[in-house]
Structure 1
Amino acid sequence: MRDRYAFFTSVAVRWGDMDALGHVNNIQFFAYFEQARIQFFEAVGADKVWDAEQGPILASASCNFLKPIVYPIDLEVGLAVTDIRNRSFGASLAIFRKDSDEMFAEGKNGIVWVNYPAGKAINLPPVLVEGLNKFKP
């Protein structure tokens, strides 16, 4: 399963991520995806072109919860670019037990590159497209 993902980052599960039912709250799964997405942006060079004028927005997000996560545990989030279009790209994500194929959740993100002041989608910068292509499975 891990071989479907080209980028991995470690995620620290905090005691405060747990809810009254004794497992990590569902909203935290999205926070773990967000943490991986931001580190992924740095890995693909988005920080070279992301500024007050332009950058990414999360246009869509989904998560299939496969099993509960219980503290303490070491996790990794895997990410793979699934498709690259002119103004956007898709990503597949999964949460794994560190150094294991045990998967807790899998999700999808749609990311659009935007001119922030204009509020309009613009073409992905070439340096970003080059970086994204390195993380397609």
Structure 2
Amino acid sequence: MNEFPITVRFPVQWGEMDAYGHVNNARYFTWFEAARIAYMARVGLVSPEMQKPEGGVGPIVAATNAEYLRPVVFPADVVVGARVTRIGTTSLTMEYAVEDAQSGVRYARGGAVLVTLRYPTYEKVPVPSEIRAAIEALEGRIFE
């Protein structure tokens, strides 16, 4: 998980299992969401300002995907990593990974495209320069 600047650990709960004896595929998107929100909060793109009547700038998911490499079964602890791989004019591309917390076995990987919006009007806006700078500092690189 060294390549992911943000990681979140989750103990797998019995109720996350499906009839086939492994964690249901939808749970991965919940893990991705939690890691994404932790990342966005760290760089200042998720804040209480978005929920005020005058709003603020925040992300919205435009597309998301997952690739399941091997099933997660109870009991387990997983670590979910998040990173930004691209910064566009009004969008961010993220990548995720899900690994076993003890062995490092990779269970899944995924991604998302986020668009920066002005809430509550949902007007698409450029990624703010201070957010870009915070992402570049966190990632340790400059995005073209």
Q: Fold-level match, TM-score > 0.5?
A: yes
Structure 2 unaligned blocks of 5 or more: none
State the Cα RMSD in Å. 1.8
Structure 1 unaligned blocks of 5 or more: none
Match of 1:90 in 2: 93
Residue 79, structure 1, aligned to residue 82, structure 2: yes
Residue 135, structure 1, aligned to residue 139, structure 2: yes
Q: Secondary structure at the match of 1:43?
A: helix
Q: Distance in 2 between matches of 1:85 and 1:99?
A: 35
Q: Normalized against structure 1, the TM-score is what?
A: 0.89
Q: Distance in 2 between matches of 1:85 and 1:96?
A: 28
The runs of at least 4 aligned residues of structure 1 exceeding 6 Å deviation read none
Match of 2:120 in 1: 117
RCO greater where, 1 or 2, for CA within 8 Å and sep 6 or more? 1
Between the two proteins, the alignment pairs up a number of residues equal to 136
Quick check: 69-78 or 111-120, which moved more?
111-120
Cα deviation, residue 125, structure 1? 2.0
Q: Distance in 2 between matches of 1:15 and 1:50?
A: 36
Residue 33, structure 1, aligned to residue 32, structure 2: yes
Cα deviation, residue 73, structure 1? 0.7
One-letter amino acid of the structure 2 residue matched with residue 28 of structure 1: R
Cα deviation, residue 55, structure 1? 1.2
Q: Distance in 2 between matches of 1:125 and 1:78?
A: 24
One-letter amino acid of the structure 1 residue matched with residue 36 of structure 2: R
Identity, % of aligned pairs?
31
Match of 1:8 in 2: 7
Q: Normalized against structure 2, the TM-score is what?
A: 0.85
